[in-house]
Structures are given as structure tokens and as C-alpha cells.
Amino acid sequence: MSESKSSAPGLSILLSAAILAGIMGWTGRGIADHNDGAQQPSGQEAAARTEPITAGGTGMGTFYSLKVNGDYPGGQEALARDSEEIVRRIEKEISTFDRNSELSKFNSYQGTGRFEVSRDTAIMVAETMRLGKSIGGATDITVFPLVDLWGFGPDKKPEGFVPDDASIEKAKALLGLDRLHVIVDAGRYYLQKDFPELHVDLSTVGEGYGADRFAELMDRKGVKNYLVQIAGASRSRGISPSGRPWRIAINGPQRGEDTAMETIVPQEMAVSTAGSYRNYFEKDGKRFSHAIDPVTGRPIDHRTVSVTVIAPTALETDALDTGLLVLGVDRALDYAEKTGLPIYCIVKDRNGEFVSRYSSAFKKYLAK
Ligand code: ADP
Ligand code: MG
């Protein structure tokens, strides 16, 4: 969002995402863990000595769950109510299923002037753009025309339709992280697009964003020991009922839900996983995943099946995991080594076996 600009220069403050994040108090005091629904508390947590207070449900097209080890002000009922409120609010902001969400309205807005949005939405867009750009645009929140073309849009079920090159090029022309801008002006927040057809899809970071909001709720309520997750994104803090720090299992694809490839101790950091194996269609023996490479305009078809990322916030992990998955294991690890980012990749080897490769920074999170 360093490229943010205003249609009325001089009036608006052009902020970089980092500054914006600072204003919003987005510090990296994370907790967390997470993952793509494949991550579950490990066996040790299952053998808990005391029962945690739990809440959960469905929202944003997926499931969420919260576990509090200790007291929650107002008890289980309050936890359920507070968390549901957060989920509903995020849906109102960014749901692509809800035509009345803030983001849906921006997408259907046929102008190029400033469009006012909530602070939360502005932050989410700015941060995701910044992180996407940091990995060469591999996570691209303007990728919707391609998502839709390949049949992964909100109204569709992927049916194995493979579009021709001309339609792919046509859809690609409608993308562009440099053609979307976040503007802060006199304490109000706006999105602005360079052309009316530009479409913003935050579905890849909604889960991480939600996990951060859950963590924020816990901090606000003075809860010291918790594990919260929305599908593949999680945050945790303190200790589990077993009396030890929370652990999270990273599960391999096509294995039983409980079969962990690896168990990690997130150490109060956020964790999330992007996988190519949960939403896809198959045609002529080839698998087309819902993760789309904005450069080729095609679903990824390489052997990297999932990427797990650890960072202070789940918005960061969730914005990076999809793009790193798109880049594939070699480029993802290259980026991770250069930046010191902890990542863990599951790769299908030539024999069809699932093997893992991770960056140096990830090692310290592996459970002993
Ligand atoms: P996962 O199952 O890996 O957790 P997510 O739900 O986080 O997947 O994100 C997948 C969705 O993100 C897709 O359904 C699509 O709407 C969108 N998407 C696909 N490719 C990209 C991309 N390169 N950048 C950003 N969003 C993408
Ligand atoms: Mg993601």
C-alpha cells in the first residue's frame, strides 16, 4: 500500500501498510497456531487433565473453535456469544457470499472514486497487498477473475472446465495489485480501484484475520491460556490443560484426520497452512487446485501440497501461505531462508509419498 494514492492529492494521508498497522496497534504479540483444518491439538492436549472452556461453530464458509484453559469472564455462554459476534462482523465486512458485505459492495461499485470502508477492511486489504507484493504478487487479492473463470467462485462448484488460453489472458488483464489503493483521510478509510471491474477477494486471509480477532478478544478479556482457530489459521498463548504449552499437529493430506506429519509448539506465534488438496477438481487425471498462480493464470499443478507458515499474526501467515504454496517448495524455501521466515512444506515425491521440507527458522518450533 505504499503505492496508495488519492484522487485528491493533498487531502489524504498516504500511508504505508506498516505505518497503518502501527496506528492500528498491530504489534506482533502473537500467540498462535493454526492451520488448514488439518491442524488439530495433538494427543497430549487430548489427554487434558482439566476440561477447557470451548466454543465453536461455522462461519465464513468454514469452522472455527476456541479453547480457554482457565476462566472466561461470563463463562462458556459469553465465549460463544463473543466469538460468534466477531465472525458475523467479519462476514459483514469481507464475505464474498454476502452481496451486501462491504467488500461485495466495493466490488460491484462501478466507479473509480474513493469508496469508504471500515478500518478493519482497509487494514486487511493493505496488509495483504503488502505481503503479497513481498512475494512477487504470488498472493494476489485481485485474482478473482481467474478464480471465477476456473470455476472456484462463490456461486460455483468446480466442474472440471478448463478454459482456453484467450479467456485466461482476458481474465489476467483484470488483475493488478498496483491498481488497488488504500487511502486514509481524516481518520476515514477508503478503497479505490483504477478501473470498475477490479475485484477484491480476501477469502485467502479471512481465516487468519479472524484468528487474530479471536486472540485480541482473549487479550482484552485477560485470558492467559487459549488456543483459537478458524479452519487453517490459529493463535495460541500460555499453556494447555495438560500443563504444557499448546501443541499443534500438521497433518498430511489423504491421511486420517489424526495422523500428524509433525507436531509443533507454536510458542505464542500464529500458524496457518495453505493446502492444494482440499478444494480442487480432477480432469484427465490432472488435479486443478483452487490456489491459482496469477502469473500463469492457472491453478497450481506442482508437487507442493501444503505450506505452513509461522509469524506473529495470523493475517501475516495466512497472506503468505497461499502465495508460498503457489510459488512451490523450492522458491518458497528460498524466500523463507532469505527472510528468516519459519515455513514447513509437504511435498509429494516421485513415489507418491508425502515428505516434508522446512526452513531453518522452522526447526525450533518442532516438538521434541
Ligand atoms: P486454503 O484451503 O489453502 O486454506 P484459502 O481458503 O486460504 O485456501 O484460500 C483459497 C482461496 O483464495 C481460493 O478459493 C480463491 O478464492 C483465493 N485464491 C486463489 N489463488 C489465490 C492467490 N494466488 N492469491 C490470493 N487468493 C487466491
Ligand atoms: Mg492463506
Prediction pTM value: 0.85
Calpha distance 318→209 (Å, rounded): 8
**Percent of the chain, pLDDT > 90?**
66
Q: Is residue 327 part of a domain?
A: no
pLDDT averaged over the chain? 84
Residues at CB less than 6 angstroms from ligand 1 = 36, 138-141, 143, 147, 152, 201, 203-204, 232, 274-275, 278-279, 290-292, 294, 322, 326
Ligand 1 atom with the shortest distance to the CA of 153: 16
- Candidate from 246-260, 334-348, 354-368 with smallest mean pLDDT: 246-260
9: pLDDT strictly greater than 50: no
185: pLDDT strictly greater than 50: yes
Q: Is residue 322 part of a domain?
A: no
Q: Among the residues of 174-225, which ranges form H helices?
A: 206-220
* Contact in structure between 327 and 138 (CB atoms under 8 Å): yes
Span 23-72, pLDDT tens digits: 332 322 222 333 333 345 555 544 445 789 999 999 888 899 999 999 99
149: pLDDT strictly greater than 70: yes
Nearest protein Cα to ligand 1, atom 7: 204
314 alpha carbon – ligand 2 mean position (Å): 9
Best residue among 39, 124, 204 to mutate for probing ligand 1, ranked by most atoms within 8 Å of CB: 204
Q: Is residue 104 part of a domain?
A: yes
* Contact in structure between 264 and 367 (CB atoms under 8 Å): yes
| Widest CA span in the chain | 60
Q: Is residue 57 part of a domain?
A: yes
355: pLDDT strictly greater than 80: yes
* pLDDT attached to residue 254: 64
Residue 187 amino acid letter = G
Q: Is residue 278 part of a domain?
A: no
Q: Is residue 250 part of a domain?
A: yes
Residue of 18 and 118 predicted with greater confidence: 118
Ligand 1 atom with the shortest distance to the CA of 37: 4
Which range marks the domain in which residue 100 is found?
Answer: 1-266
115: pLDDT strictly greater than 70: yes
12: pLDDT strictly greater than 50: no
What cell was used for 211? 484468528
Domain count, the chain: 1
* pLDDT attached to residue 20: 35
132: pLDDT strictly greater than 90: yes
CA dihedral 84, 85, 86, 92 (to 10 degrees): 110
Residue of 9 and 356 predicted with greater confidence: 356
Ligand 1 atom with the shortest distance to the CA of 62: 6
Best residue among 322, 327, 331, 346 to mutate for probing ligand 1, ranked by most atoms within 8 Å of CB: 322
- Candidate from 127-141, 194-208, 243-257 with smallest mean pLDDT: 243-257
CATH of the domain at 64: 3.10.520.10
Ligand 1 atom with the shortest distance to the CA of 207: 7
Q: Is residue 175 part of a domain?
A: yes
Span 268-300, pLDDT tens digits: 999 999 987 666 677 777 777 888 999 999 999
Calpha distance 82→63 (Å, rounded): 16
Q: Is residue 169 part of a domain?
A: yes
218: pLDDT strictly greater than 70: yes
* pLDDT attached to residue 278: 65
130: pLDDT strictly greater than 80: yes
Nearest protein Cα to ligand 1, atom 1: 274
44 alpha carbon – ligand 1 mean position (Å): 31
